[in-house]
Each structure stands twice: as structure tokens, then as C-alpha cells.
A and B are shown apart, each in its own frame.
Chain A
Amino acid sequence: MAVAAARPTTGTEAENPLSEGLERLPPPPTTLVIFGATGDLARRKLLPALYNLAHDGALPERFHLIGVARKEKAHEDYRAECEEAIRRYSRRKPDDDVLKVLLENVKYVPGTFDQDSVYAELHKLLDEFEQRAGEPLNRAFYLATDPSFFGPIVDELGRSKLAHHIHAEVRAIIEKPFGTSLEEAIELNRRVLSVFDETQVYRIDHYLGKETVQNMMAFRFANGMFEPLWNRNFIDYVQITAAEDIGIERRASYYDKSGALRDLIQNHMLQLLCHVAMEPPVSFTAEEVRNEKVKVLQAIPAPTPEEIAEMAVRAQYTKGHAGGEDVPGYIEEEGVPHDSVTETYAALRLEVDNWRWAGVPFYLRTGKRLARKLTEVAVTLKPVPHLAFSQAGSLGVQPNQLVLTIQPNEGVSLSLVAKIPGTRMAIRPVNMEFLYGTSFLSQSPEAYERLITDAMRGDATLFTRNDEVEAQWRICDPIVKLWASERDGLAQYEAGSQGPAEAERLLREGHRWRAI
């Protein structure tokens, strides 16, 4: 089969004729500044992601990294720390030569994030790099600090005139959580947008960088067989689960302030819900995709305090058994206050009040120390109107379920009902499974590799927009506030279990939680 010749194009402002047919085009020359450069996120995720991009030849032609953190240290010491982190956390064994080249372009600026001298030094280094390159370089400021510093850093970037560049692009990449309440999110948006234009801002939700999350759109909108069923007429309920088998590890100081609702539901799980419920975008541009997601979020009514008891459950794990070991309960974990009422499990029942989804409950649940690690979206279809196969021998006939598994076994499975071989007309459910790993040769890149590249390239599709963040908070904020004001009502579940029995009360008649 011959491939039609692609028409050559001439060089214009709008398109690069040489990029046709290339799977990737390295982003334009960029200096990346990481605030919080010695923190856990930088060490475990960002630096290894940068190394892997370097290994694949996917970094910009000119790339510099500046780490900013509080502790005083020399450039060389920071480079040594970067090397140690990359060697420890990189998904592939580093090539010494590539690592050396990457580290040669790393600098360090010590100081607190409100210190003028930090920004003056940044100015100096950024100018130096441009002088050396003989041209303007794009700048990306990555805020990987404690969220309380996001506002002050943005203010300082504005004050020090680092937020704009007359000849190059300047971008701010902001980690989650984007605020811890609706008011905080609004205020942070106000501060950020008083310095940067929205088109310069890249709010991270690393779930959006996962291939399988992105693939939900391909699954829905590139397969004609599902879309006709994808509405209230055929779908009975949707269940989204993000279960972890581990506890809080050493993150007590963060987690106890956050809790399960803020940690996962407010951001990642609502994004998953958006991918399930959104209308097909006109095109897959950042704005069109995000417009559709915002419409879904706006269709979810914020609960009143009276409704919350009916549609939300919170719980905390007690000691139990996980992974073949005895494990402590949440309040016995190191660093957790003994009287903590922080939820390690949260479940919600949400409604999307629009033409497509009216009346279909969306159940969301997440928790630490559950039976196993699992992230999935399960769509349960309405039962058939009449089952003519009720004679003895038919086993556990259930309505069809379409399950999109995000981890650990990325794939799609569809439960069907089939006849049990034999002389009688007895039936039972079977699974038709598709596993991504069986059908593609390539490995999915780490979410941060994709997100850093997209931000450097200026593609905001996989980042959260200001109105999206606020719409997410508008749904969760009343629950956060009510739970913060009440010490009662916190259920318990044994570590390693399926979660609290109280979660059952969220379910409508005939619905059930899937086994984790």
C-alpha cells in the first residue's frame, strides 16, 4: 500500500513544514525555574522526568534549569543532589554522558520565596543564559512548593518584572492543590491573574497527563458503538474509584490538613467524571476541551448542608492487615494527631443535571489502606427489561458493566452474559477484556514528562483552567466546610478492607459498590 505524498508547505509564521510526520518536535528554547527545587516532588518526579526527556532527545535545543529553594548551597551541591535524585527515581538507568550534559545546565538560587535577592539573582541568570544563547529564551516558572507559597511567589514574579518578556513566552506552572477551599482558589486565581494572563498559566493535575485518562476521550469519541448508549436512557449509574492500598507513608503533615476529599476527589476524580460526562468537543484544542469540562462541572449542583449527610460519607482507617502485614490505624501513624478527624476515605453521590445525565448518579470513592490499588471508572447499563433465563443454574446475572481501568491494568472490560456450556439454558456473566499492554508496543510516558513538555510547548489541553478549578471547588467546598466543623460522623474501616459499611447508604436501590 503506497502512502500518499504529503503536500509540502512553505515556511510561514503559522506552521513549520519540517514538523510534518515527526512524532515529536522538541519545545522551543526554554529556561525552567523550579521553586521548591529540593522538595519531594522535584526529586521524585520533576528531575527524573527532565532526565528522561533529555535521554530521549526531547528537551528544547537550549535548556537550562534553575532550582530555587531555601537552603544555602552551591550550584555544584545542587547538581549533586539532582544527580542523586535522578539515579534513584528515574524510570530508566541514566546514561552518564547524557546526565552530565543535563547537569551542566543546572544552577541553584538559594533564599526564601519572598526575598528580593532571589528574584534579582533569577533575573541575572536568565539574562546571562539569553546573552550566551544570543537570543531570547522562553521561561517557565514551576511552582512545586507548599501551596501557601504560590501566592507570594507569583506576587514576587510580578513585582520583579519576571512575568512577562517582550520577545519570549513566560509561563507559570502551578502544582496542586490549587487552594484548599473555594475562597482560597478564587483568591489565588485573582493573584495569579493579576500578574499573568490565563494563557500563561498551567495548573497541574497530573492525572490529566496519564495516557489512560486521555484515552477516555478517544474511547468515547472515536468508537461509534458507545456514544449512542452514553446517556440516561441506557446508563443506570457510574462509579469512579481511586483506591490505594498504602497508608499515608511519611506525608502526615500534608495529608492530615488535606484529607481524601481535597487530596483526590476535588481534583483528579472530578476530572475523571468530566471525561465520562462531557459532550464531544468541537475540536481537541485546549479551550474547546476545557469548555466542555466546565459545562459538566457547572451542571453538578453544590450540595446544601442538609443534603451532605445523604450524599457524602467520610471515614478513617483503623489498624488492620494489608499486604500480608499488620498495619497501624490512621491516628497511630507517625505525625498524625491522636484526635485527628481527617478523613482517609471519602465517597460522594453526585448528579449531573443536564439533558444527557439527569437522574444518573455518579458515585465517587477514594481511600487509603483499602484492599488494593485500583483506579477505575465503571459504567453500569440499565438491566434488560425482561430476563427469560431465570431457570436454576443461571448465576449472578447482572446488568452489563463497562469498566475503564486506569491502574494497575490499564484497559477496558465489558461484562456480558453468556450461556453456560451444557444442555440447559443457564447463563452467567463473562468478561470481554481489552488490556492496553497487550495491544501497544510503546510504554506510556510518565505523566510529568508529558506535562512539562506540553507546558514548555504552550499546549494547555491537559491543564486545568481557572474557571474549572473554581467549579471543582464549588462542588466540594460545602462538604469540606461541613466536615471541618463537625467532629462527629466520621466512620471507621479496617485497614485492608473494602471501606466503611456506611458507604452503602449512598447507593440507590439496586446499585452496589464494585469490589475493590
Chain B
Amino acid sequence: MARSDAVWSEQGTTPDAIEVALRDLLIERHAENERYVPARVLNMIAFVDREWTGEIANRLRGVGRYSPSRLLVLAYEPRRERLDARVTIVSEGEPESGEFVLLRETVVVELGERHLDDLLTIADPLVVTDLPTLLWSPHGHYDIVEVLLALCQAILIDSIDEPIWREAIDRACGLSKQAYVVDLAWLRTTPWRERVAASFDPSRRRPELQAIESVTVRHHPASTVSAMMLAGWLASRLDWQPSSLATRGEELLGKAHAAQSSDGRQDVALRLQSAPALQVRGLEGLTLATTSGKELSLDRGPGGLRARSRDRGGIERSWTIPGASRGEGGILGEGIRQALLRDPTYVPAVRAAQAMLP
């Protein structure tokens, strides 16, 4: 699809001048062809280290149609004195056969430490009023996040990126009190949560939920957080009371207290295992076992999840559930899309994960 860009840039500029430039470029494009229409879905403010702006731009290019309609990149370089800006309006093709073509706007503002005190007055005029705004600060800068949250309804984080995963869970819990949190570490568990949930449909399988006696989650060594969130999700949805996990080699082990089931089950054993062979971040697999002797395992495999079940008679079956990997670009795109939705199960899951912290 042909792309065309309209560009404006200025060194030593002001937020007012940038806003006027944005408006003029939009009017220009619309006058060129009335089928050019600006997308009006979501603002995204990305606060990034200037030296990594290119990398962030590359990551955002991978999200395809999930691009925010207006992206404001605040590129931070501590010693910068001057405010420079560049506005790009991209159309994803040419208007053909009466169909409209969306315009997306990117504003890159390069700023320094001296601008931080006035950050809100720089960013505020550059987001579209009445649209939800998502904040992303992939390089940390938590003090700046606190400031910018005043403009935002949602914040995008990736708890896996935190150098210390224990802190990641505390931070996610803290942020969730201030804004709606979209956590890519949580979104990496979505296909697993869907499949685990579907494993207890139809309703004749439902009673097995109360017979789960052990949960094992296998994860990329850098994705302990995702594994904890998955375990936290099960605990919060099934009303288990988890306690701290203990580290044993490459594993985290512990228990969650569950309501006594008809067969006397009281506790659920939790085991989070690091899987060093896994090439991509996220989960490698999980196994659920019940007091009746049933077991279900789901593991990554080519073309989908490899499922293995063992029934109470010990008969084993295996098959593949088709599904394509979303890739990191897909997960980031999904994160942007999720900013417009509300998942009420994240906060309880992450709080349960917090209770499991060693």
C-alpha cells in the first residue's frame, strides 16, 4: 500500500507552533482530497531516551493497524537546551474507489532537563482532546511517569522489562491505583488464559476446577513475572489464598490455600519453572493436575499449543491446538488496543502475584 507523508519541522519551537503546524497539515491534506480523514481513536505519549528513539520507532512500526491515531514522542536528552519538533502525517495509501484513507499523526518533540518542569504544558496542547490517552515510558523515568499520568487514562508497561522482577509486580500494583494498566507481561499470558478457561467448558468439565491440586508454569528465564501473573490469575479467579513462594534452584515453589472441595482438597501446589531453552519471552507451558488424577498440559509448539491430557485411568492423549504466535510487534499492538478496553481481572491477578512474592 502506498504511503505518503506530510512533514513539518522546526528548531527552537513552541507547543503552540507545533499545534498550529499539525492543524495546518491536516487541513492541507483534507483540501488535497476530502477522502483523507484523520484517525481519532487514541493518543499515545511515549517518553523515551532520545538515543533510543529509532528503536522505539521501529517497535511501533511493527504494530501495524494498531498504531495510535496521534503519537506524541517526547524524546529526552538531559542536556538539551532547545525544544525541537517534527510533525509527520502519514496516510496509508491513496484514496481510491470512494474509500477513505486514514491519516495518522506523529509528533516528535526533543527536549531536555530544563523542560521537565513544564512538561505538562508542552504535552497537553499536543494530544487530541476527548480521546483516551495512553502513556508509555519504556526506559523507566518513573518520576516523569508520575507527572504525565495527569494527562493519561491508561499506562502501558512491560513488567518483564523491569530488571528486578519482584519490583515489577509491586510497581504494577502501585500504578494500577493511579491509572488503567496495560501490561504486556499480562498480555503474553492471554492465549494461555483463554485455553485454560476453555478447558473447563463445556459445563460438565466445570467441577474439575475445584479439584485442581497443582499448577506448574514453565517460563522464559526473563519472564518470571508472566508466570506469576498466570498463577495469580488462577488464584484470584478461583478464590485461592496464595502464600509466598520459595526459591529452589531454577524454580519457585509454594502453595495456595483453597476452599475445601468435596474430595478433601485443601491446598494447591504452585510451581514456576524456568525454561532456559525457550527462545522467546513469555511462557513455555503449563500443567494442571486434579485430585481425580487428571492432568492437562499445554506447551508451545509449531503451529499452536501442544496439548497433552491424562485421564483418571492413566490414559494419555496428545494433540495440537492451532494458533499463530503474535510476535513482539503483535503483543505491543495488542497492548495499544487494550488501552481502549478494560480487563477487570488484571488487578486481582497481580495482587495475588504480589502475595506470592518470595
Whether A2 pairs with B178 at a CB distance below 8 angstroms is yes
Q: B322 and A13: CB pair below 8 A? A: no
Segment with Cβ contacts to B, from A32-40, A211-219, A258-266, A434-442? A434-442
Contact B236 A13 (CB under 8 A): no
Is there a chain A Cβ closer than 8 Å to B52's Cβ?
Answer: no
| Closest-CB distance, B106 to chain A (whole angstroms) | 16
Q: Which residues of the partner chain A approach B179 to less than 8 Å between Cβ atoms? A: 1
> Which positions 294-353 of chain B face chain A at CB distance < 8 Å?
302-305, 307, 309, 311, 315, 317, 319-324, 336-337, 340-348, 351
CA distance A467 to B292 in the complex (A): 47
- Known interface pairs A22-B193, A26-B195, A61-B199; A10-B153 also in contact (CB < 8 Å): no
Chain A residues with CB below 8 A from B239, complex form? 8, 10
A16-B197, A441-B66 as given contacts; A1 in contact with B178, CB under 8 Å:
yes
Quote the shortest CB–CB distance from A56 to chain B (angstroms).
Answer: 7
Asked if B100 and A98 make an inter-chain contact with CB atoms under 8 angstroms apart, the answer reads: no
| CB of A282 within 8 Å of the partner chain | no
Please report the C-alpha to C-alpha distance between residue A439 and residue B42 in the assembled complex, in whole angstroms. Answer: 8
Which residues of B have CB within 8 Å of A12?
206
> Within 8 Å of chain A (Cβ to Cβ): is B143?
no
Q: Mark B202-222, 1 if CB is under 8 A from A, else 0.
A: 111011011000000000000
Closest to A51 in B: B322
The contact of B206 among A13, A24, A55, A443, by CB within 8 Å, is A13
Q: Are A17 and B322 CB-contacts (below 8 A) given A3-B180, A10-B259, A408-B99?
A: no
Selected contact of B196 from candidates A18, A59, A134, A441, CB within 8 Å: A18
Cα separation A11 to B212 with both chains bound (whole Å): 12
A3 touching B347 by the CB < 8 A rule?
Answer: yes
C-alpha gap A6/B197 in the complex (Å): 16
A100 nearest CB neighbor, chain B only: B303
A425-441 vs B: 1/0 string, CB under 8 Å? 00000000101011111
Query: CB-nearest residue of chain B relative to A133?
Result: B317
A95-B100 contact, Cβ under 8 Å, with A6-B344, A57-B194, A101-B320: no
* B102 proximity list for chain A (CB < 8 A): 437-438
Within 8 A of A (CB), among B5-23: none
**Alpha-carbon separation in the docked complex, A249 to B343 (Å):** 46
Give bound CA distance, A132 to B319, whole Å. Answer: 10
User: With a CB–CB cut-off of 8 A, which chain A residues contact B346?
Assistant: 3, 21
Which of the candidate stretches B33-41, B110-118, B158-166 sits at the interface with the other chain?
Answer: B33-41
- How many residues on the B side are at the interface (Cβ–Cβ under 8 A)? 72
Give Cα A19–Cα B200 distance, bound, in whole angstroms.
9
Q: Are B198 and A60 closer than 8 Å at their CB atoms?
A: yes
With A1-B178, A95-B303, A441-B65 as given contacts, are A102 and B345 in contact (CB-CB < 8 Å)? Answer: no
Chain A nearest CB: distance from B156 CB in Å?
A: 14
**Could you tell me the distance in whole angstroms from the C-beta of B104 to the nearest C-beta in chain A?**
10
Instruction: Identify which of B40, B41, B99, B191 contacts A409 (C-beta below 8 A).
Output: B99
Kindly provide the distance from the CB of A124 to the nearest chain B CB, expressed in whole angstroms.
20
Partner of B194, one of A24, A104, A138, A409: A24
Q: Is the CB of B201 within 8 A of A57?
A: no
Q: Shortest beta-carbon distance, B189 to chain A, in Å?
A: 11
Decide if B100 touches A1 in the complex (CB within 8 Å): no
A97 to B301, CA, bound (A): 9
Residue from A12, A167, A433 whose CB has the most chain B CB atoms within 10 Å: A12
- A98 and B195 contacting across the interface, CB-CB below 8 Å: no
Q: How far is the CA of A97 from the CA of B99 in the complex (A)?
A: 35
> For the complex, what is the distance from the CA of A104 to the CA of B97, rounded to whole Å?
41
Check if A25 sits within 8 Å of B198, measured CB to CB: yes
Is B3 among interface residues, defined by CB-CB distance under 8 A?
Answer: no
Report if B79 contacts A (CB, 8 A). no
Q: Which of A65-108 contact B (CB under 8 A)?
A: 95-102, 104
Contact A5 B344 (CB under 8 A): yes
Give CA–CA (A167, B204) in the complex, Å.
10
User: B176 to chain A: which residues have CB within 8 Å?
Assistant: 2-3
Please tell me if the beta carbons of A55 and B197 are within 8 angstroms of each other in the complex.
Answer: no
Tell me whether A6 and B345 are in contact in the complex, defined as CB-CB below 8 angstroms, given that A57-B304, A408-B98 are known contacts. Answer: yes
A1 in complex: contacting residue of B153, B191, B238, CB < 8 Å: B153
Do B348 and A8 touch (CB < 8 A)?
yes
Between A59, A61, A134, the greatest number of chain B beta carbons within 10 A of the residue's beta carbon is seen for A61
CB nearest neighbor in A for B66: A441
Asked if B41 contacts A438 (CB within 8 A), the reply is yes
B139 CB–A CB distance under 8 Å: no
Q: Are A55 and B198 interface neighbours, CB within 8 A?
A: no
> Whole-angstrom distance from the CB of B153 to the nearest CB of chain A?
6
Chain A residues within 8 Å of B42, by CB:
441
Flag whether A114 is at the interface (Cβ < 8 A): no
Closest to A54 in B: B322
Q: Could you give, for residues 142-183 of chain B, a 1 whenever the CB lies within 8 Å of some chain A CB and a 0 otherwise?
A: 000000000001000000000000000000000011111000
Which of A3, A24, A439 has the most B CB atoms < 10 Å from its CB? A3
Give Cα distance in the complex from A2 to B350, angstroms.
13
A56 partner residues in chain B, CB cutoff 8 A: 323-324
- A372 contacts chain B at the CB level, 8 A cutoff: yes
Q: Please tell me if B59 contacts chain A, counting CB pairs below 8 Å.
A: no
Question: Counting CB contacts under 8 A, is B237 at the interface?
Answer: yes
Asked if B195 contacts A13 (CB within 8 A), the reply is no
Complex CA–CA separation, A28 to B179 (angstroms): 35
CA distance A4 to B236 in the complex (A): 13
Give chain A nearest CB distance to B305 CB in angstroms. Answer: 8
On chain B, the residues within 8 Å of A443 by CB distance are: 65
Point out which of A26, A132, A372, A408 has the most chain B C-beta atoms below 10 A from its C-beta.
Answer: A26
Residues of A within 8 A of B39 (CB): 437-439
Q: Shortest beta-carbon distance, A105 to chain B, in Å?
A: 8
Residue A488 CB within 8 A of the other chain: no
In the complex, A515 has a CB within 8 A of chain B: no
Cα–Cα distance between A132 and B305 once the two chains are bound (Å)? 18
B1 to chain A, nearest CB (A): 14
Given contacts A22-B194, A60-B198, A61-B199, contact A11 B207 (CB under 8 A): yes
In the bound complex, residues from chain A placing their C-beta under 8 Å from that of B209 are 11, 17-18
Chain A residues near B315: list those with CB within 8 A. Answer: 134
| Cα distance, A17 to B239, chains bound together (Å) | 10
Within 318-365 of A, Cβ neighbours of B (below 8 Å) are at: none
Taking the closest CB of chain B, its distance from the CB of A60, in whole angstroms, is 7
A-B contact pairs, 21 of them (CB 8 A): A1-B180, A3-B342, A3-B343, A4-B344, A6-B345, A8-B236, A8-B238, A8-B239, A10-B238, A12-B206, A18-B197, A19-B197, A56-B323, A100-B302, A101-B322, A133-B317, A433-B37, A437-B102, A438-B38, A438-B102, A439-B40
Binding site for A on B (CB under 8 A): 37-42, 65-67, 69, 97-100, 102, 153, 176-180, 190-191, 193-204, 206-207, 209-210, 234, 236-239, 259, 302-305, 307, 309, 311, 315, 317, 319-324, 336-337, 340-348, 351
Give the top 8 A-B pairs by smallest Cβ distance, nearest first.
A57-B323, A97-B303, A21-B345, A18-B197, A11-B209, A6-B344, A54-B322, A101-B303
- Sample of 20 more A-B contacts, CB < 8 Å, known A133-B317, A437-B39: A2-B178, A3-B176, A3-B347, A5-B348, A9-B237, A18-B193, A26-B195, A27-B198, A55-B323, A57-B191, A61-B198, A98-B323, A101-B303, A101-B320, A408-B97, A437-B100, A438-B39, A438-B41, A439-B41, A441-B336
